[in-house]
């Protein structure tokens, strides 16, 4: 099966859109990665395609079952809590949290993600957060773009558990990240997401 024929090649949503762009920030020479809150394994498979030794963890048993069923035997899938369970092979050159940080306490989650990053490694977060009044114009524009994407590209529902509305706000994530990781880069994105990048 060619890469274009694989199911992942036809899947698209906002988490994928912003997550794949962040993969360009993977440091040269990176060898290990962990996908925290991996769901059914889309980003874990993307990391494995780049030659990384990947550990992927999620609390949801059905998501892990579906991830394992998609045939990437090189990925170590763990059903468990990334905040408290021991993770093999850490710390990691690449730590990914795609639409999973808002499932955690913000301070506890960012602290744990930071701890998992090896020296010289990178943390890549795509997150969901609540906006304020200042975000209304951006969210109105996003609604228009959203309709176009869904009409022409479709939208893949990953089927893993969701938390919405998120208890976290953009400003809380930005300020907490700045306090815990002063050199981190926070950016609001158009389609109801933010990205956070930090290199240890």
pLDDT means per 10 residues in the chain (200 residues)? 65 88 96 97 96 97 95 91 91 97 97 98 96 76 66 68 84 98 96 94
Contacts of range 103-112, beta carbons closer than 8 Å, 24 or more positions apart: 103/37, 103/161, 103/163, 106/168, 106/172, 106/173, 106/176, 107/176, 107/180, 108/83, 109/83, 110/176, 110/177, 110/180, 110/181, 111/180, 112/82, 112/83
pLDDT (tens digit, 9 = 90+) per residue, 97-135?
999 999 999 999 999 999 999 999 999 999 999 887 687
The pLDDT assigned to 146 comes to: 65
The pLDDT assigned to 142 comes to: 65
- pTM of this structure: 0.89
Domain that holds residue 102: 3-130+160-199
The pLDDT assigned to 107 comes to: 98
Angle at 79 between CA 57 and CA 3, to 5 degrees: 55
Domain with residue 29: its CATH number is 3.40.50.150
* 18 found inside a domain: yes
* 146 found inside a domain: no
pLDDT (tens digit, 9 = 90+) per residue, 22-31?
999 999 999 9
């Amino acid at each position: 099966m060619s890469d274009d024929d694989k199911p992942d090649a036809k899947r698209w949503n906002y988490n994928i859109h912003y997550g794949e762009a962040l993969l360009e920030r993977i440091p040269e020479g990176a060898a290990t990665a962990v996908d925290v809150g991996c769901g059914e394994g889309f980003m874990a498979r993307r990391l494995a395609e780049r030659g990384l030794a990947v550990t992927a963890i999620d609390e949801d048993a059905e998501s892990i079952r579906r991830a394992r069923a998609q045939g990437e035997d090189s990925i170590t899938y763990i059903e468990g809590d990334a905040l408290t369970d021991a993770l093999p092979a850490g710390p990691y050159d690449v730590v990914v949290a795609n639409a999973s940080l808002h499932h955690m306490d913000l301070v506890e989650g960012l602290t744990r993600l930071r701890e998992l990053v090896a020296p010289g490694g990178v943390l890549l977060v795509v997150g969901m957060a609540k906006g304020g009044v200042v975000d209304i114009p951006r969210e109105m524009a996003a609604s228009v773009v959203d309709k176009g994407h869904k009409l022409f590209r479709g939208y893949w529902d990953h089927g893993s558990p969701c938390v919405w509305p998120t208890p976290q706000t953009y400003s809380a994530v930005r300020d907490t990240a700045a306090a815990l990781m002063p050199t981190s880069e926070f950016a609001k994105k158009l389609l109801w997401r933010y990205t956070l990048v930090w290199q240890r």
